[in-house]
Amino acid sequence: MKQTELKKTGLLLILGLLALTACTRLAERPLEHRIPSAPDSQWRPPKNAAAPAVTRDTTHSGLEAISPEMRARNWTLADIVDIALSNNPLTRASWQSARAAAAHYGSEKAAWLPRLDADGGYGHSRGSTAGGRLAYKSISYDAGVSLSYILFNFGRRIADVEAARQDMLARNWSHNATVQTVILAVQQAYYQYQYSKAMYKSSQASLEEARRDLDAAEQRRAAGLATVADVLQAKTRASQAELSMLSVEGQIKTLRGSLATVMGLPADLEYDIDYLPEDVPADSVTVTVDRLIDEALARRPDLAAARAQALKARAESASISRARYPEISLTGGAGRIYYNSRDRQGDTYNVSLGVSVPLFTGFKAENDMLEARAKAEGAEEQARGVQQQVVLDVWTSYYDLQTAAKRLATSRDLLASADESHKVALERYRSGVGSILELLQSQSALEDARAQNIQARTDWFLCLARLAKDTGSLGLGQTSLIPTAGNATNEGK
């Protein structure tokens, strides 16, 4: 008895020490390491909560998909779109979301099948009665199977499965919308990169012209037909042209890194693309705005996702409204119990038909129904709002494209006129008829005309990409709105 009491005392001491240690840990100052020490200080995490060092992710870098042949040539828009869709974190995340919704749909459909469980147990009990005079010991083993199945629940199971199906459809539509958003981001970054390259080539042409004007001024001064002021003005203009070219050169590197980031690649990746096309098919888009609106209402994945979310909310509302009705279920089971030894055993069987009727839930069911109906009506209004936004998007993009086409035509005429005017001014200056101010003004006008023409071409492609996105045609293999951008010829001339 003394040994037993010592064991019990030792066990109690150990438990007491463990409890004391736990209380000591819990008795720490509650705000220590949880907030900054003062309003003007930064939070310093404890050692066990320090953020791990972040390294470059090479698991899905996308570099492995770039072949040596592709590295050796300029990348086309199709190349960049393919890389971005498979490597951009947005498309990968939306794809995983769609997979999760599909798995949830399969999980909800399991309600149509019975559930079968296997269970087992082991029991060991000792005790005594009548003041310790009668002692007993019992050992038991049991194993069995149980089956349960919902026979009827007034359509709640149907509504739950339908809600999961609509959620799966909504997430798949949302993935399509994400794909189109990434394609648009790629096109925008691509055309901006092309714009910077075209501007660089234009600045090179402007620098050459400025140097040619400077040579003309120096030749006239050497012949005694011009003053040093003419040379200084021409030299200033040449320096400005060179500074502009250097600025554009830095912009090219920035936009190349932005395009690489959209593709999900490192910003410092070395690659290149073609120049902005000189010939823009501005008259190729002949579809009416009404037809484009109809196509957008039928194709826009974000609108389809909003509609699916509204149907999901309606199904959830139907499921909650049916929760107040009875549920009829069938359960059954079979098992065997062994007592003390395998010679003593007993078999058990049971089959039951159950009916569960919710009588009173503290008005929870009524409030849940009101909440579900409000959410369903809100989801339908959101879908209606998306539909209105789709019409506005197409309307705006269509007329933006029309305006871009007109600006493109005007910029072409302006560029041709400015180029001819500069040639005339240069000849007049060389022949001694014109002034240096007239020459420099014509050269500046030519530079502005080039820039406006490049901007007009870029804007037309950007507006076209936006219109394709707003009509829902991006990523569907329908390229009627987006012509293939070939290599530019005579760029900057």
Least-confidence region, from 147-151, 409-413, 463-467:
147-151
Inform me whether the pLDDT recorded for 433 exceeds 60.
yes
pLDDT, tens only, 435-466: 888 888 998 999 999 999 999 999 999 999 99
166 pLDDT band (50/70/90 cuts)? very high
Return the pLDDT at 473.
86
Return the pLDDT at 209.
87
Return the pLDDT at 293.
94
Here the contacts of 230-239 (C-beta below 8 Å, separation 24 or greater) are 230/436, 233/436, 233/437, 233/440, 234/210, 234/436, 234/439, 234/440, 237/210, 237/213, 237/440, 237/443, 237/444, 238/207, 238/210, 238/211, 238/213, 238/214
490 pLDDT band (50/70/90 cuts)? very low
Return the pLDDT at 43.
75
41 pLDDT band (50/70/90 cuts)? confident
Q: How far apart are CA 29 and CA 27, in angstroms?
A: 6
Look up residue 148 and give its amino acid.
Answer: S
Return the pLDDT at 491.
41
**H helix or E strand, kind and range, residue 465:** helix 436-470
Return the pLDDT at 63.
67
* Tokens representing residue 408 in the block: 């493109």
Q: How far apart are CA 487 and CA 480, in angstroms?
A: 19
487 pLDDT band (50/70/90 cuts)? very low
Return the pLDDT at 485.
40
Provide, rounded to the nearest whole percent, the portion of the chain with pLDDT above 90. Answer: 42
pLDDT, tens only, 290-323: 999 999 999 999 999 999 999 999 999 999 998 8
Residue with tokens 């290599």: 487
Return the pLDDT at 478.
44
Least-confidence region, from 29-38, 67-76, 288-297, 368-377:
29-38
Picking from 476, 391, 466, the residue whose alpha carbon sits closest to that of residue 179 is 476
Look up residue 244 and give its amino acid.
Answer: S
Instruction: Give Cα separations from 73 to 67, 70, 249, 256, 270 (angstroms).
Output: 10, 6, 21, 15, 11
Inform me whether the pLDDT recorded for 477 exceeds 60.
no
Return the pLDDT at 28.
53
Mean pLDDT of 166-186: 94
Least-confidence region, from 39-48, 246-255, 421-430:
39-48
Q: How far apart are CA 314 and CA 189, in angstroms?
A: 40
Q: Which of 3-17, 214-228, 333-347 ranks highest by mean pLDDT?
A: 214-228
Return the pLDDT at 35.
72
Return the pLDDT at 185.
93
Question: How many Cα atoms within 13 Å fall on the side-chain side of residue 64?
Answer: 7
Q: What is the mean pLDDT of the chain?
A: 84
Look up residue 441 and give its amino acid.
Answer: Q
Mean pLDDT of 459-477: 87
Return the pLDDT at 268.
87
Mean pLDDT of 170-189: 94
- In DSSP notation, 362-404 reads TTHHHHHHHHHHHHHHHHHHHHHHHHHHHHHHHHHHHHHHHHH
Mean pLDDT of 93-119: 92
Return the pLDDT at 484.
41
Return the pLDDT at 131.
62
* Tokens representing residue 389 in the block: 């936004």
Picking from 439, 390, 474, the residue whose alpha carbon sits closest to that of residue 77 is 474
Return the pLDDT at 10.
66
* Tokens representing residue 117 in the block: 């469980």
Mean pLDDT of 362-376: 92
Mean pLDDT of 400-419: 94
Count other Cβ atoms within 10 Å, centred on residue 49. 9
* Tokens representing residue 359 in the block: 């009588």
Inform me whether the pLDDT recorded for 60 exceeds 70.
no
| Buried b or exposed e, range 94-111, using 16+ CB within 10 angstroms | bbebbeebbebbeebeeb
408 pLDDT band (50/70/90 cuts)? very high
Return the pLDDT at 6.
59
Return the pLDDT at 126.
75
Return the pLDDT at 429.
86
Inform me whether the pLDDT recorded for 493 exceeds 70.
no
Residues 6+ apart with CB under 8 A from 400: 463, 466, 467
Inform me whether the pLDDT recorded for 122 exceeds 50.
yes
Picking from 340, 329, 342, 334, the residue whose alpha carbon sits closest to that of residue 119 is 334
Residue 72 φ then ψ, to 5°: -85, -10
* Tokens representing residue 132 in the block: 């310790």
